[in-house]
Amino acid sequence: MYTGTALGLFGLLILLLHGAGIRFFSNTIDLILALLSLSFGILIYSYALYRGHPEGIKNNGVWRRALTSRGWLAILSGIVITGFYIVLYFYPQYLGLGADGAKNTGLIALFDPLSQLLKRQPASQWFVYGVLYTLAIVFFGIKFMMKYRHNRYQQFRTLSVMFFQFGFAFLLPEVLMRLNRPYFNFANMWPLNYYFFDQWHIDGLIHAGTLGMFMLIWGLLMVFVISPYLTYRFGKRWYCSWVCGCGGLAETAGDPFRHLSDNSLRAWKIERWLIHSVLVFSIVMTVSVIHSYLGDDSSKYWLTRSLFLGIVSILIAGVAGGLYYFKRYEMAKDARFGMIGAASAILLLLINHFFSGNGNIFFIDAGSLRSWYGFAIGSVFSGVIGVGFYPLLGSRVWCRFGCPMAAILGIQQRFLSKFRITTNGGQCISCGNCSTYCEMGIDVRAYAQRGDDILRASCVGCGVCSAVCPRGVLKLETGEIGVKL
Amino acid sequence: MRNIIIIGNGISGVTAAREIRKRSDDHITIISDEHPYFFSRTALMYVFMGHMKKEHLKPYADAFWEKNRIALLSDRVNGIDFENKMLRLDKNNPVSYDVLILATGSLPNKFGWPGQDLKSVSGLYHMGDLDRLEKWSGSIRHGVIVGGGLIGIELAEMLLSRGKTVTFLVRESGFWNIVLPPEESSMINRHIREHGIDLRLNTELKEIIDNGRGEASAVTTSKNETIDCQFVGLTAGVHPNVGWLKNTSLDIARGILVDQYLKTNQDQVYAIGDCAQLRTPRPGRRPIEAVWYTGKMMGRTAAQNICGTPIEYDPGIWFNSAKFLDIEYQTYGFIPPSPDDSTHTFYWEHPDGKKSLRINFDKETGEVRGFNLMGIRFRHKVCERWLKEQKPIDYVMHHLEEANFDPEFYARQEKDIRQAYAQQFHTTFA
Ligand SMILES: Cc1cc2nc3c(=O)[nH]c(=O)nc-3n(C[C@H](O)[C@H](O)[C@H](O)COP(=O)(O)OP(=O)(O)OC[C@H]3O[C@@H](n4cnc5c(N)ncnc54)[C@H](O)[C@@H]3O)c2cc1C
Ligand code: SF4
Ligand code: SF4
Q: Which helix (H) or strand (E) holds A324?
A: helix A305-327
Q: What are the chain B neighbours of A475 within 8 Å (beta carbons)?
A: 377, 405-407
State the pLDDT at residue B114: 96
ipTM score here?
Answer: 0.95
Total number of domains in chain A: 2
Does residue B50 belong to the interface with chain A, where contact is any CB pair within 8 Å? yes
Atom 6 in ligand 2: residue holding the nearest Cα: A438
Q: Which of A247-261, A374-388, B323-337 has the lowest mean pLDDT?
A: A374-388
| Contact in structure between A398 and A382 (CB atoms under 8 Å) | yes
Instruction: Identify which ligand lies nearest to the alpha carbon of A410.
Output: 2
DSSP string, B310-366: -------S-EEEEEETTEEEEEEE---SS--TTEEEEEEE-TTSS-EEEEEEETTT-
Q: What are the tens digits of pLDDT across the range B120-142?
A: 999 999 999 999 999 999 999 99
Asked whether the predicted pLDDT for residue A336 surpasses 80, the reply is no
Atom 5 in ligand 2: residue holding the nearest Cα: A459
Contact B321 A151 (CB under 8 A): no
Burial class (CB in 10 A: 0-12, 13-18, 19+), B225: middle
CA A392 to chain centre: 18
Mean pLDDT of B338-364: 97
H helices of A164-236, in order, are 172-178, 199-206, 209-221, 227-234
CA A219 to chain centre: 17
Question: How far is the C-alpha of A388 from the C-alpha of A400, rounded, in Å?
Answer: 15
Binned at pLDDT 50, 70 and 90, residue A361 comes out as: low
Binned at pLDDT 50, 70 and 90, residue A332 comes out as: low
**CA separation (Å) from A411 to A13, A415, B60, B425?**
44, 6, 27, 53
State the pLDDT at residue B355: 98
Asked whether the predicted pLDDT for residue A347 surpasses 80, the reply is no
State the pLDDT at residue B246: 92
Phi and psi dihedrals of B24, rounded to 5?
Answer: -150, 175
Final residue before a domain boundary, out of A157, A180, A203: A180
Identify the closest residue of chain A to B320 by CA–CA distance.
A427
How many Cα neighbours within 13 Å face the side chain of B270? 29
Q: Residue A397 domain-assigned?
A: no
Asked whether the predicted pLDDT for residue A362 surpasses 70, the reply is no
DSSP string, B357-380: EEEEEETTT-BEEEEEEES--B-H
Q: What are the tens digits of pLDDT across the range B300-314?
A: 999 999 999 999 999
State the pLDDT at residue A44: 94
User: Which of A9, A40, A252 is closest to A146 using CA atoms?
Assistant: A252
Q: For ligand 2, which residues put their CB under 6 angstroms from it?
A: A 421, 438-440, 442, 444, 454, 459-465
Q: Residue A97 domain-assigned?
A: yes
State the pLDDT at residue A297: 75
Question: How far is the C-alpha of A127 from the C-alpha of A124, rounded, in Å?
Answer: 5
Burial class (CB in 10 A: 0-12, 13-18, 19+), B398: middle
Binned at pLDDT 50, 70 and 90, residue A445 comes out as: very high
Q: What are the tens digits of pLDDT across the range B168-196?
A: 999 999 999 999 999 999 999 999 999 99
How many Cα neighbours within 13 Å face the side chain of B368? 26
Question: How far is the C-alpha of B299 from the C-alpha of B13, rounded, in Å?
Answer: 6
Q: Residue A260 domain-assigned?
A: no
Q: What are the tens digits of pLDDT across the range B198-246?
A: 999 999 999 999 999 999 999 999 999 999 999 999 999 999 999 999 9
User: Which of A9, A13, A50 is closest to A30 using CA atoms?
Assistant: A13
State the pLDDT at residue A57: 96
Task: For domain B319-425, give the fold.
Answer: Enolase-like; domain 1 (3.30.390)
Binned at pLDDT 50, 70 and 90, residue A164 comes out as: very high
Domain hosting A442: range is 418-478
Shortest alpha-carbon distance between residue A466 and chain B (Å): 8
Phi and psi dihedrals of B295, rounded to 5?
Answer: -60, -40
CA B152 to chain centre: 12
| Contact in structure between B144 and B232 (CB atoms under 8 Å) | yes
Phi-psi region of B359 (alpha: psi -120 to 50; beta: other; left: phi over 0): beta
The ligand 3 atom nearest the CA atom of B59: 5
State the pLDDT at residue A356: 58
Identify the closest residue of chain B to A431 by CA–CA distance.
B43
User: Which CATH number is associated with domain B3-107+239-306?
Assistant: 3.50.50.60
- What is the edge-to-edge ordering of all strands in the sheet holding B269-271? B70-74, B27-32, B3-7, B99-102, B269-271
Binned at pLDDT 50, 70 and 90, residue A358 comes out as: low
A466 Cα: distance to centroid of ligand 1 (angstroms): 25
Contact A151 B191 (CB under 8 A): no
Domain boundaries defined on chain B: 3-107+239-306, 121-236, 319-425
Does residue B57 belong to the interface with chain A, where contact is any CB pair within 8 Å? yes
Give the CATH number for residue A444.
Answer: 3.30.70.20
Q: What are the tens digits of pLDDT across the range A28-51?
A: 899 999 999 999 999 999 999 998
Q: What are the tens digits of pLDDT across the range A201-216?
A: 998 998 888 899 999 9
Q: Which of A341-345, B241-245, B422-426 has the lowest mean pLDDT?
A: A341-345
Shortest alpha-carbon distance between residue B374 and chain A (Å): 11
Pairing of strands B238-240, A364-365: unpaired
Question: How far is the C-alpha of A6 from the C-alpha of A12, rounded, in Å?
Answer: 10
Q: What are the chain A neighbours of B59 within 8 Å (beta carbons)?
A: 430, 432, 445-446, 449
| Contact in structure between A224 and A315 (CB atoms under 8 Å) | no
Q: Which of A357-366, B240-249, B419-428 has the lowest mean pLDDT?
A: A357-366
CB pairs under 8 A between A and B: 120
Binned at pLDDT 50, 70 and 90, residue A367 comes out as: confident
Final residue before a domain boundary, out of A119, A147, A180: A180
State the pLDDT at residue B8: 98
Final residue before a domain boundary, out of A121, A148, A180: A180
Superfamily of domain B121-236: FAD/NAD(P)-binding domain (3.50.50.60)
Asked whether the predicted pLDDT for residue A364 surpasses 80, the reply is no
Identify the closest residue of chain A to B384 by CA–CA distance.
A425
State the pLDDT at residue B151: 97
Q: Which residues are registered as beta bridge partners of B209?
A: B218
Asked whether the predicted pLDDT for residue A276 surpasses 90, the reply is no
Q: Which of B293, B326, B377 sits opposite A55 (nearest CB)?
A: B326
State the pLDDT at residue B222: 96
**CA separation (Å) from B36 to A35, B30, B103?**
53, 10, 15
State the pLDDT at residue A103: 85
For residue A454, give the 3-state DSSP assignment. Answer: strand
Q: Which of A264, A426, A472 sits opposite B296 (nearest CB)?
A: A426
Q: Residue A236 domain-assigned?
A: no
CB B151 near ligand 1, within 6 Å? yes
Identify the closest residue of chain B to A66 by CA–CA distance.
B50
For the CA atoms of A142, A147, A152, A156, the dihedral, rounded to the nearest 10 degrees, stands at -20
Question: How far is the C-alpha of B129 from the C-alpha of B107, rounded, in Å?
Answer: 11
Binned at pLDDT 50, 70 and 90, residue B101 comes out as: very high
State the pLDDT at residue A183: 85
Contacts of B183 (CB under 8 A, 6+ apart): B347, B349, B356, B358
Mean pLDDT of B333-341: 96
Asked whether the predicted pLDDT for residue A304 surpasses 90, the reply is no
Supply angle C-alpha A190, A285, A233, rounded to 5.
30
**Helical pair A27-50 and A125-147, crossing angle rounded to 10 deg:** 20
Q: Percent of chain A having pLDDT more than 90?
A: 54
Task: Give pTM, 2 decimals.
Answer: 0.95
Asked whether the predicted pLDDT for residue A54 surpasses 90, the reply is yes
State the pLDDT at residue A360: 59
Largest Cα–Cα separation, chain A = 74
CB B239 near ligand 1, within 6 Å? no
Binned at pLDDT 50, 70 and 90, residue A244 comes out as: very high
Binned at pLDDT 50, 70 and 90, residue A344 comes out as: confident
State the pLDDT at residue B273: 98
State the pLDDT at residue A395: 94
Burial class (CB in 10 A: 0-12, 13-18, 19+), B97: buried
Asked whether the predicted pLDDT for residue A373 surpasses 60, the reply is yes
Asked whether the predicted pLDDT for residue A351 surpasses 80, the reply is no
Asked whether the predicted pLDDT for residue A359 surpasses 70, the reply is no
Q: What are the tens digits of pLDDT across the range A63-112?
A: 999 999 999 999 999 999 999 998 988 898 888 888 777 888 888 989 99
CB B190 near ligand 1, within 6 Å? no
A413 Cα: distance to centroid of ligand 2 (angstroms): 13
Question: How far is the C-alpha of A63 from the C-alpha of A71, rounded, in Å?
Answer: 10
Q: Tell whether omega for the bond before B351 is within 30 degrees of 0, i.e. cis.
A: no
Question: How far is the C-alpha of A304 from the C-alpha of A356, rounded, in Å?
Answer: 17
Q: Matching CATH topology for B3-107+239-306 and B121-236?
A: yes
Chain A: residues touching B (Cβ < 8 Å)? 54-57, 59-65, 150-153, 155-156, 264-265, 424-427, 429-433, 435-436, 445-446, 449, 463, 466-468, 470-472, 475-476
Average pLDDT, chain A: 88
Candidates A53, A55, A431: best to mutate against B (most CBs of B within 10 A) is A431
| Contact in structure between B327 and A55 (CB atoms under 8 Å) | no
Question: How far is the C-alpha of A465 from the C-alpha of A449, rounded, in Å?
Answer: 14
